[in-house]
A and B are shown apart, each in its own frame.
Chain A
Amino acid sequence: MKIEPELYKAKAKKAVNNSVLQNALAGLQERLGRGTALSYQRLPEGPDLRLKAHDIRSHAIEHLDILLGALADNVRQNGGHVFFAEDGQAAVNHCLEITEKHNIKKIVKGKSMVTEEIGLNIALERAGLEVTETDLGEYIVQLAGETPSHIIAPAIHRTRHQIGELFADKLGISYTDNPPILTQAARKALRKKFLSADMGISGCNLACAETGHIAVVSNEGNIRMSSTLPRVHVAFMGMERITACLEDYDILFRLLSRGAAAQNIAGYVSYLGGPKTDDQIDGPEAFYLIIIDNGRSRILADNDFREILCCIRCAACLNVCPVYGKIGGHAYGSPYSGPIGAVVTPLLFGINQAKDLYCGETLCGACKDACPINIDIPGMLITLRKKRAEGDRKWNVKRTNIMERMIFKIWALAVKNKKIYDFFLRMTGFLQTFFTGHDGTIHRLPFPFSGWTKSRNMRPISSKRFISGSKNIR
């Protein structure tokens, strides 16, 4: 998909005025946000299990070089191929080479955010290949010519009515807005695709270094189909999606399923390692794993942000975020939306380019509470703002304009000196009377303060000082 975080403000504004989307987002958060919190409470170990999960993930990230080396060795031992791709283009090229080598025409795909990140579909289609997304939500989004608006519920922005019209148009069925009938229509159309595809593409939820398997998770069964029926299977994984040993999955998958959909465990989990053997009836004849860096080693090198690589992309933070809940996924202009997107998108695609994403979040901390790994997302949002304010060569960030810095310098001086501060208060108290309306609020401030009253009325500064009130109490 096209990465365009610079359109954040315009798209967010549009989303806030879209009542259909507002209902859908409220419904999603009501259902999943609460469900996830409850499911953490019901864990036998309690919500503190998330701290253990954090330890396991950090441990893996700290030893990434060793684990990736072991994974590659073990996958090859199981008969699979492993490629390491420094950036998105290298990963796409590997995939194109595989399609040529195996004479591929038709491809079915399971949901994978990293392939969205590197623009795989566009490249494959340009090469004349047919690519079909098979997760129902992704399929809907693909038929409509859109991009996913949620990591695990990609078509959450569409109503059943819209989907009914879309299917009537594209699949030639008569119009209905009945979800079971619509699902059945997609099942029928996609079954044909599964059975005629030569290649299946999937992501990777978490690879196991010790055994040389990738683990993939779904509820629909589309990833099992994509990795079982076609003669070639190609899996893409971001380099951080790995763990040391099999036992780690107990905690990580219990939390992943709870974070993603408030489930005890997802409907299907498959551990895949290598092509089928001669005496097996089904499974792919060739298995490829493409491991992608694409900016992740730069995040790894920065201690401020290394922790974000612990993320397992469950989307729990989207389901509780007050900002995501209003503006939806498309505003973020990236496959990664919500709080996780507000950290990952700037780090992968540019802190300046994606500045609205981390400035737009509220720092309320709900994302951290919902995170199954207890990642400090609010802390990283603040660090990103700091980098933007102060500039950072390593991240290619230019310092914010000199005016803003000056104002803050003066402000810092004022609050440290009682005389200046008192004078400032008296002045503003006097000046604000010119801007206060009949209802006692300030409707419009002059430049450079006009931004504060652009979309709301401001309350005037109180005539009674807080400190004088507290003296009376004492």
Chain B
Amino acid sequence: MAMEQNEQEEFLSNVRKALGVNPIQKRDKPDIFKEFKDKNPDKTLETINNRTVDEKKALLEILIKEADSLNLNIIPIKDFKTAAKKIAALAEEKEPEWGEKKQIIAWKHPLVEKLDLNSILEVLKAPIPVCFTDLAHEKKIGRKQNDTIRMQMIHSYIGVTSADYCLAETATLVMKTRPGQARSVSLLPLIHIAVIRINQIIKNLKELYTILVYKQDEKEEGLTNCMTFISGPSKTADIEGVMVHGAHGPREVYIYVITDE
């Protein structure tokens, strides 16, 4: 640690020298972090909080329009029950990527639990098991238990998550990492399904950053050790500029937006 500190001090004094300030004196200017901040965050937060039903619907329309060019499917739907039925139909229709067995991996999350996918998928003619990335009941993860869930994630063809927010103007899902909400669920399976409520849709990146920095509970939680933005399926254009979906991550992404409940 002492060596790391020395190395850092030497490095930073070099930087200070290059900038033409006293190399051995640590500069302290707290104001520099405020230079480009939102001058009126409360107003922005108020706008977000006070959106009318019509304004929310307008944002949903923008989201649908933006998603179209990204090959991303937005499905507005009345309630969780209907959404669950749709998801079950999708699961029956799609084929797994590696091997024969169909298996779904899902977040341990209130909105995903409301779908109650197990009750529909287990009574199908060919039942499809749903596993949850849930370790909350264990105080400390034993490596073995962790490996079991990792294997389940690797062999699932569909991953079901929710999200913290969805940005209309860029069609972006925003998710932090919390216990039960594993990062791989939106990454390893061939198909990613996200379920959100309509009031989780906000306008753009600017609104998001204001919320993250100034909204009390978000501020306390911080970004967590991994905050991810997902805008559509995984894609590449590395072979002659031809767009191909499903480079490493999901080839198809579906966002179910619950409008009524």
Interface residues of A (CB under 8 A from B): 24, 27-28, 31, 55-56, 59, 62-69, 72, 78-79, 81-86, 134-137, 140, 153-156, 159-160, 163, 179-180, 182-184, 186-187, 190-191, 194-195, 209-211, 213, 219-222, 224-225, 227-229, 239, 244-250, 253-254, 261, 264-283, 287, 291, 293, 297-298, 300-301
* Contacting residues, chain A, for B184 (C-beta < 8 A): 228-229, 281-282
Asked if B230 contacts A136 (CB within 8 A), the reply is no
A272-B225, A280-B179, A291-B11 known; A222-B248 Cβ under 8 A? yes
Measured CB to CB, the closest approach of chain A to B135, in angstroms, equals 6
Asked if B244 contacts A183 (CB within 8 A), the reply is yes
Asked if B235 contacts A267 (CB within 8 A), the reply is yes
Asked if A66 contacts B32 (CB within 8 A), the reply is yes
* Contacting residues, chain A, for B222 (C-beta < 8 A): 211
Asked if A244 contacts B36 (CB within 8 A), the reply is yes
Known: A86-B11, A269-B228. 19 other contacts (CB 8 A): A56-B36, A62-B19, A63-B32, A64-B19, A65-B19, A72-B8, A84-B7, A136-B247, A186-B247, A225-B249, A245-B213, A250-B205, A250-B206, A265-B170, A268-B228, A268-B234, A270-B226, A273-B224, A297-B17
B88 within 8 Å of A (CB atoms): no
Question: Which 7 A-B pairs rank lowest in CB-CB distance, beginning with the nearest?
Answer: A221-B249, A220-B247, A137-B238, A84-B11, A301-B18, A300-B18, A269-B229
Q: How large is the interface on B (under 10, 10 to 19, 20 to 34, 35 or more residues)?
A: 35 or more
Measured CB to CB, the closest approach of chain B to A391, in angstroms, equals 22
- Provide the bound-state CA to CA distance between A220 and B10, in Å: 38
- Provide the bound-state CA to CA distance between A300 and B233, in Å: 39
A136-B238, A184-B246 known; A254-B205 Cβ under 8 A? yes
B136 within 8 Å of A (CB atoms): yes
Chain A interface: which of B23-31, B46-54, B77-85, B115-123? B23-31
- Give the contacting residue for B11; candidates A156, A280, A293; CB below 8 A: A293
* Contacting residues, chain A, for B36 (C-beta < 8 A): 55-56, 59, 244-245, 247-248
- Provide the bound-state CA to CA distance between A282 and B66, in Å: 31
Asked if A69 contacts B12 (CB within 8 A), the reply is yes
A64-B15, A64-B19, A84-B11 known; A183-B170 Cβ under 8 A? no
User: What are 12 pairs between A and B in contact, CB < 8 Å?
Assistant: A66-B28, A136-B236, A213-B223, A224-B187, A246-B212, A246-B223, A267-B234, A271-B228, A272-B226, A280-B178, A283-B183, A300-B19
- Provide the bound-state CA to CA distance between A167 and B97, in Å: 21
Residue of B nearest to A220 (CB): B247
Measured CB to CB, the closest approach of chain B to A235, in angstroms, equals 13
- Give the contacting residue for A297; candidates B15, B32, B66; CB below 8 A: B15
A180-B244, A224-B228, A267-B230 known; A65-B38 Cβ under 8 A? no
Asked if B236 contacts A278 (CB within 8 A), the reply is no
Asked if B18 contacts A224 (CB within 8 A), the reply is no
Measured CB to CB, the closest approach of chain A to B202, in angstroms, equals 13
Asked if B247 contacts A282 (CB within 8 A), the reply is no
Asked if A264 contacts B66 (CB within 8 A), the reply is yes
- Give the contacting residue for B246; candidates A83, A86, A183, A211; CB below 8 A: A183
- Give the contacting residue for A264; candidates B169, B244, B248, B250; CB below 8 A: B169
Interface residues of B (CB under 8 A from A): 4, 7-8, 10-12, 14-21, 26-29, 32-38, 66, 133, 135-136, 138, 140-141, 146, 149-150, 153-154, 169-170, 172, 177-180, 182-184, 187, 204-206, 209-210, 212-213, 222-242, 244, 246-250
- Provide the bound-state CA to CA distance between A237 and B146, in Å: 31
* Contacting residues, chain A, for B135 (C-beta < 8 A): 279, 281
- Provide the bound-state CA to CA distance between A179 and B243, in Å: 8
Residue of A nearest to B20 (CB): A301
Measured CB to CB, the closest approach of chain B to A454, in angstroms, equals 34
* Contacting residues, chain B, for A264 (C-beta < 8 A): 66, 169-170, 231
* Contacting residues, chain A, for B7 (C-beta < 8 A): 83-86
Measured CB to CB, the closest approach of chain B to A63, in angstroms, equals 5
- Give the contacting residue for B8; candidates A84, A136, A254; CB below 8 A: A84
- Provide the bound-state CA to CA distance between A140 and B237, in Å: 13
Asked if B227 contacts A271 (CB within 8 A), the reply is yes
* Contacting residues, chain B, for A298 (C-beta < 8 A): 18
Asked if A246 contacts B238 (CB within 8 A), the reply is no
Measured CB to CB, the closest approach of chain B to A18, in angstroms, equals 15
- Give the contacting residue for B205; candidates A28, A210, A265; CB below 8 A: A265
Asked if B182 contacts A65 (CB within 8 A), the reply is no
- Provide the bound-state CA to CA distance between A278 and B235, in Å: 32
* Contacting residues, chain A, for B16 (C-beta < 8 A): 65
Residue of A nearest to B249 (CB): A221
* Contacting residues, chain A, for B33 (C-beta < 8 A): 209-210, 244-245
Measured CB to CB, the closest approach of chain A to B24, in angstroms, equals 11
* Contacting residues, chain B, for A229 (C-beta < 8 A): 184
- Provide the bound-state CA to CA distance between A265 and B67, in Å: 12
- Provide the bound-state CA to CA distance between A156 and B209, in Å: 35
- Provide the bound-state CA to CA distance between A140 and B28, in Å: 47
- Provide the bound-state CA to CA distance between A67 and B32, in Å: 9
* Contacting residues, chain B, for A300 (C-beta < 8 A): 15, 18-19
- Give the contacting residue for A225; candidates B37, B227, B237, B248; CB below 8 A: B248
Residue of A nearest to B176 (CB): A271
- Provide the bound-state CA to CA distance between A63 and B236, in Å: 36
- Give the contacting residue for A247; candidates B11, B136, B209, B229; CB below 8 A: B209
- Provide the bound-state CA to CA distance between A266 and B230, in Å: 8
Asked if B225 contacts A273 (CB within 8 A), the reply is yes
* Contacting residues, chain A, for B242 (C-beta < 8 A): 160, 179
Asked if B229 contacts A277 (CB within 8 A), the reply is no
* Contacting residues, chain A, for B209 (C-beta < 8 A): 246-247, 249-250
